Amino acid sequence: MKNFKLQAFLMMLISCHVVMPVAWTEQKQNASILISLVAAYYAYNLIPYYADQPAEFYVSHSYPHAQLWYEEMIVKYPQAHLDKKNFLHMRYGISIEKISWGVGGNNIYVSQVDLIYLESVYSKKINGQELSSQELDFLYLTEWALLHEAGHAELNYSLHAAVLALGCFTTLEIIKMVYKESTDDACKKSIESIVATCFADDVIKNYIVSAAMWMRYGAMNCLQGLSLGVLTTLWVRDQEMQADNFANQHAATDCLPIAIRFFEYFADQYQPSIDRIVEELKEDADFMSELAYFDIDIIDLIKSVTYFGKDPMHPSFDYRIQSIRDEIERRLEKGSQV
């Protein structure tokens, strides 16, 4: 842990000393300091993922039967390299009740609710007790969820996310800095000429010009933040799709229909509100004619907007359901060719 903190601190210092020498203007210096601070922030946030984990963080510490299930998954899915990953139920800085399925470095985190149920169900299984259909479905779905998170770990999600976010932020900050430097003088002169035609008092003119320039800087910062958010969201959605594909390709065939039912359940929760919006929009003839002109299905449109509004970081339920169905169909075709 101490070694990794030292590495993160050195990363911050290196980033400062690499960027700062070229900061020969105050504006460039401010940008370089900001970039260095962001680099340090991401480096520091990676520390918990790659540091040694306390013994009590491991599932094996408190949930022996759940750990036995995980060991079975290690054997069942060697392509997921689960033996190289930590199966944890606690993480730094987050209360145990708020932990959900996730990944950080080579750590796979499981939610407390699922873990307690998994401990109970797998205990019954290894003791030879008959499992209900609900309990069997839970085990199949948990396998799929585990492989989804393993897919993230295989893609080195945490490190790549930090590098991408820092890279996007740095690029946007440089673009903003260059644009600001190249247009500030002309923009200020233009504002001054407009203000001069309306006000004679120098104090008022200076105040208005300063306020206008600050509003300009604020708009540029908002645009930078929006651009960073869009780029990050698109990348995260792509990573989620790849993790889904990993789970779909490697999960046992029995797991796939259960995963479909899981996503169908959540899709059904949104269906009433989607139907209501669709019916209201169908009354707008102009809007419907525009959709028809561009060959856009109104139901697909409202579904996409609704799902994205609720969870912009994950692909839609329909997409995830269809991707699993495609994998089932692929396996059936492959089986028929054997």
Q: Which pLDDT score, from 0 to 100, does residue 42 have?
A: 66
Q: Which token pair is 324?
A: 């699993």
- Helices 64-76, 133-154: inter-axial angle, 10-degree rounding: 60
The pTM assigned to this predicted structure is 0.78
Distance in angstroms (rounded) separating the CA atoms of residues 241 and 55: 33
Distance in angstroms (rounded) separating the CA atoms of residues 280 and 168: 40
Domain boundaries along the sequence of the chain: 1-52, 58-154, 253-337
* Residue 81 · residue 139 · CB < 8 Å: no
Distance in angstroms (rounded) separating the CA atoms of residues 244 and 149: 9
Distance in angstroms (rounded) separating the CA atoms of residues 141 and 259: 6
Tens digit of pLDDT at every position of the chain (338 positions): 444 444 544 454 455 444 444 444 556 666 666 777 677 766 666 667 777 788 888 999 999 999 999 999 999 999 999 999 999 988 766 666 666 888 888 899 998 889 999 999 999 999 999 999 999 999 999 999 999 999 999 988 777 777 777 788 888 888 888 888 888 888 888 888 888 888 778 888 888 888 888 888 888 888 888 888 888 888 889 999 999 999 999 999 999 999 999 999 988 888 888 888 878 888 788 877 877 777 777 777 788 888 888 888 888 899 999 999 999 999 998 875 54
Q: Which pLDDT score, from 0 to 100, does residue 327 have?
A: 96
Helix/strand/coil for 102: strand
* Residue 88 · residue 53 · CB < 8 Å: yes
Q: Which pLDDT score, from 0 to 100, does residue 95 have?
A: 63
